[in-house]
Amino acid sequence: IAGHKDVEGSEVVDRKVKLVAKGKARLSPRNKLPTALREQLPHSIPALKQDHNKKLKKLWKDKWSILSHFPHLSTINPTLPSNTW
C-alpha cells in the first residue's frame, strides 16, 4: 500500500505476512489464538478445484507428449492439448 511506503518496519511486516499467508510462519503463538483458529482452516472449494484442474491439465500434457502421433500433430497445432476440453 502506497500509504505505508515510508513507514518504519513496513517491509519487515510485509515479509512476515507473506510467510504467514504461505503457511511457512506464524505471527501468534498457537495458545494465544482463539480455540477456533488454533487448527488448520478448511480450504476453499474453488481453490481445491483450481488446484485439481491444474494438476489434471499437467498430467494430460505429459501423457499427450508421449503419444506416437504427438510430433506430427504438434506441428499442425502446437497449442495441443487444447484448453477447451
| pLDDT tens string 5-62 | 677 778 888 888 888 888 777 777 888 888 888 887 778 899 889 999 999 989 988 8
Contact 52, 60 (CB under 8 A): no
CA atoms within 13 A on the CB side of 36: 0
Tell me the pTM. Answer: 0.45
**Rounded distance between C-alpha atoms, residue 21 and residue 37, angstroms:** 14
pLDDT of residue 40: 78
